[in-house]
Amino acid sequence: MAAAVLAKLYRGITKSRSKSFSQVLTKTEAVCVDGVTWKSMSIEISPENHLEDFKKYLLCSVRPEWEGRVLTSKSFDAGTTNALFAIYDKEKGMDADTVLIRINGNGTENLICRKDEIVSLLCLHHHHLSPPMYAQLNNGMCYGFMTGRSIVAEELTNPVMMKKIVRALVKMHSLEMPTSFRGREPHVWYKSAQWLKLVPTHFDEADKQRRLVESVGSIDELQHEMDEMKKELTFARSPVVFCHNDLTAGNIIYNEDKDEVGLIDFEYAGPNYLAFEIANHFCEFAGVHDIDFSLYPTEDVQKLWITAYLEESTRGPVSVSEVHDIYREVNKFTLSNHLFWTVWGVFQAQNSSIDFDYIGYAGIRYSEYKKNKDKFLAL
């Protein structure tokens, strides 16, 4: 990015920062990070009996007013990491009041730092950007529900919806970084380094191993590519901000009554390059379950999005050259984004019990990386 663009972004990002959330949150006891405390309950919720377990362990502290009511639940099956259930009053429906129970996926304690996630949630809730977090469980979390619907992929290119998404993102990026995140490497390097130490070099299942070699090659090769990309991008001029890092369409909620967008699922939230956040969102235009990178946004759509972001964050005029500078950097970070989620896919293939083709997903992301590497680095 040109110096003028960075100056604009920093002005927009710092202008609206509030006092540190750690000074004002005083929730319960048990677990404490950076002066922020939350309730941790030594219980496990069973996926098969989640409703009865909720009534037994959580009802009296989370929703005592529901005592005696007929409760029901709904399972959300679109996730690729965890199991998620909504619990609500059957007569009044989900829109009246809903509590979410998330059961963490197998092995995800190595994939995701749950304390970091909770710190992110508490920070964002304090700034009215996420629902409340009620309790940490042995195998998951109990938290609030954001009213609305997930947007669909086709809406990502809608200029009106685009501006609503940008507005929610600028709010998050403007927050002061939680104390425990400060001084850390940007998320793209910090997390991928952790994951690469844990991914299997060889799968026990012959078919899975064959597919890994065909789609990704070797873990050593993947490590080499990540090291190369880090050298290429470490000195990027993009500011490091408090990022969501997983901006799929499913994690963007539109509330029609308020006519505004909110964000959910902050498992991967943390400090990262702004250009990575934008690149990650653009990659998600391709979807997750039926991934199709022909839907990756065109240069015109990307520049429309970047223009909207600059206008929202700086509240000033935006030049064509400024937008183009960010466009070039974002596409370079698209390469690191492909590598990041390739490593994620290989890790999940070894650990997750969810019915999702993680090796196939990793292969698609790695193929996109190789196909676009020279073109994007030459921008």
pLDDT digits (tens, 9 = 90+) for 245-290: 999 999 999 999 999 999 999 999 999 999 999 999 999 999 988 8
Residue 218 has which token pair? 């070797």
pLDDT (average), residues 167-174: 97
Both tokens of 234, joined, read 């470490």
Q: From the CA atom positions of the chain, what is the Rg in Å?
A: 21
- Give tens-digit pLDDT for 64-119: 999 999 999 999 876 667 889 999 999 999 989 999 999 998 878 888 998 899 99
Six-digit token pair at 347? 């890790």
Q: Give pLDDT, residue 179.
A: 86
Q: Which residues contact 244 (CB under 8 A, 6 or more apart)?
A: 169, 172, 251, 263, 266, 268, 269, 277
What is the per-residue pLDDT across 13-60, written as a single tens digit (0 to 9) for each?
A: 444 444 444 333 333 345 666 666 677 888 999 999 999 999 999 999
Which CATH architecture describes the domain 3-18+149-377? Alpha-Beta Complex (3.90)
In this model, does residue 3 exceed pLDDT 80?
Answer: no
Contact at 8 Å (CB) between 275 and 326? Answer: yes
pLDDT at res. 211: 93
Task: Tell me what the mean pLDDT of segment 289-310 comes to.
Answer: 96
C-alpha span between 45 and 42 (Å, rounded)? 10
Domain boundaries, the chain: 3-18+149-377, 21-144
Backbone dihedral region of 77: left (phi > 0), alpha (psi from -120 to 50 degrees) or beta?
alpha
- pLDDT, residue 200, reads 83
pLDDT of residue 6: 44
Q: Per-residue pLDDT for 169 more than 50? A: yes
Q: How high does pLDDT run on average in the chain?
A: 89
CA-CA-CA-CA dihedral for 224, 228, 234, 235, to nearest 10: 170
Structural contact between residues 134 and 144, judged by C-beta atoms closer than 8 angstroms: yes
Q: pLDDT (tens digit, 9 = 90+) per residue, 182-226? A: 889 999 999 999 999 988 888 889 999 999 999 999 999 999 999
Position 34 scores a pLDDT of 60
- Report d(CA 94, CA 113) in Å as an integer: 29
Asked if 77 contacts 57 with a C-beta cutoff of 8 angstroms, the reply is no
